[in-house]
Amino acid sequence: MHRFKLLLLIALTAVTLTAAIPARAASAPADHPRGVDPHARAAWLEHYQDSRRGPEQTERFTQSYKVGADSALDLQNLSGNVRVTAARGNEIRIEATKRVRHREADEAKRLLGELRIDVSQVGNRLEVRTIYPRMSGRGGLSASVDYVISVPANTAVALKTISGDVTVADVHGEVRAETTSGNVDVSATPNLASAKTISGNVTARSISAPATLTLGTVSGSVIASALKVRAIDAGTVSGNVQLTDVHVERVDAKSVSGDIEFDARLAQGGRYAFNSHSGNVRIVLSGAPGFELDASTFSGSIRSDFPVTMRSTADSSGRDRRGLNRAIRGTYGDASAILSVRSFSGNVVITKK
C-alpha cells in the first residue's frame, strides 16, 4: 500500500509539472520572471542605473548642410543608434542627441560639453565623427550619441558604429552600414554595398537593383525579403539565414549552426549555394525552372519533392545502409539553374511552394 501511494505521488507530481511548465513558458518570456510587469522592471532597472551611474543628461544637436547632387555622408560613431533616411531637397540634416551619465552632476555637465559632434564638409562630402571626452580615471561614465539624419536620396552613405543599431531607408546612393554590437536594418536602398554586424541581426527589405548584396553577422540572423538583385552573399555563424521573396541570380548562403531557408523562384542560369554545418536547409521553390541539383549531407537526411533524374555514377542511389538519403545528384527539367545544398548534420528539404 505504501508503495502504491509513492507511485501515485510521483505520477501526480509528473502530471502537475507537465501541465505547469508549458503554461509558464507561454505566459512569461525567459528574461522576465513570472508575475513581473516587464515595464515596471525596466523602470526599476533605469532607476538602478541612475543610482549607480547618475541620471541621464542630454543635449540636442541640430544642423543642416547644403550639398550638391553627388553628395556623400561618412559617419563614425561609437555608441548610440544611427538612422538615415532620404528626404527631398539638397541638404543633409543632422539631429543628434548626446547622452551622458555620471554620478556627479557637475562632472556629467562637463562631460556632456566635451562629448562633441565634429562635422567637416569638403565639397559635397560630409564627415561626421563623435569625439568622446577623455576619462578622468574615476570611472562611472557612460556616453552615447543617437543620430537621426536625412539626406538627399542619391547620397552615398557610409555608417560605422560600435554599439548601437543602424537603420537606413530609401537612400539610393551607395550604402555601407556596419555596427559591432547591434542590428542593421536596410530598406529600399538599391545601391546597398554591405550591411554587417558582429552581434545582432541584419535585415534587408524592398531592394531592387542590379547589385551584389553582402549581408553578414557572426551572432545573429540574416533576414532578407522582397529583393530583386543580382547576387546575395549571406553569412552567419550561429544565426539563421532567411531569404524570402527574392529574385536573384546568384546566392551564397552560409551558417555554421543555424538554419537556412530560401523561399523564392530560381532564375534561368542562376547559381545557388546553401551550406550549413549543423542547421537544416529548406528550399521552397515556386514555379521553378529546371535545375541541376547537388545536395548532400553527412549524417542528416535529404528530401526532394521534385522528380530529379539521378546522375549515373556509382553512388547515384545516394542512400546509406539505413535507407536514408544522404545525397541527391541529378537534374530536374531543363537543368538551367545550378543548386548546391549541403548540411553536415542537418536535414535538407527541397520542396514546392
Partner 1 sequence: MNCFEYRDAIAEFIEGTLDADGQRALERHVESCAACRALVADLKSIQAAAFTLDRHEPPTGVWERVRDRVAAEPRSDTRGRVLVWPRSRAAWGIWAAAAAALLITTVTGVYPLINERRHRTDLAAGSQPSGDVASIQAEFQAAEEHYDRAIQGLEQIARSQSGDLDPQVAAVLQKNLQVIDQAIGESRSALKMQPSSTDAQDSLFDAMRTKVAVLQQTVELINEMRKGNQAEAGRLIKGLNQ
Stated length of the chain: 353
Q: Output 57 or 163, the one with its CB closest to partner 1.
A: 163
Minimum Å gap between C-beta 13 and partner 1 is 36
Q: Output 168 or 288, the one with its CB closest to partner 1.
A: 168
Instruction: Kindly calculate the radius of gyration of the chain based on its CA atoms and give it in whole angstroms.
Output: 26
H helix intervals, the chain: 2-27, 38-53, 105-114
Q: Is 175 left (phi over 0), alpha (psi -120 to 50) or beta?
A: beta
Alpha-carbon separation of residue 149 from 97, 114, 344 (angstroms): 11, 22, 44
Minimum Å gap between C-beta 181 and partner 1 is 5
Distance CA 179, CA 185 (A): 11
Distance CA 308, CA 316 (A): 11
Distance CA 250, CA 15 (A): 52
Distance CA 289, CA 42 (A): 52
Minimum Å gap between C-beta 341 and partner 1 is 12
Minimum Å gap between C-beta 305 and partner 1 is 22
Q: Output 132 or 285, the one with its CB closest to partner 1.
A: 132
Q: Output 254 or 282, the one with its CB closest to partner 1.
A: 254
Minimum Å gap between C-beta 175 and partner 1 is 14
Phi then psi dihedrals of residue 69, to 5 deg: -70, -35
Q: Output 150 or 179, the one with its CB closest to partner 1.
A: 179
Minimum Å gap between C-beta 54 and partner 1 is 12
Where do contacts with partner 1 occur on this chain (CB under 8 A)? Answer: 70, 72, 78-79, 122-123, 125, 131-132, 134-135, 139-144, 156, 162-163, 180-181, 198-199, 218-219, 235, 237-238, 254, 256-257, 275, 277-278, 296-299, 313-315, 326-327, 342, 344-345
Minimum Å gap between C-beta 233 and partner 1 is 12
Which pairing describes strands 327-332 and 291-297: parallel, antiparallel, or unpaired? antiparallel
Q: Output 140 or 333, the one with its CB closest to partner 1.
A: 140
Q: Which residues pair with 181 in a beta bridge?
A: 163, 199
Q: Output 101 or 264, the one with its CB closest to partner 1.
A: 101
Alpha-carbon separation of residue 290 from 17, 75, 330 (angstroms): 52, 45, 11
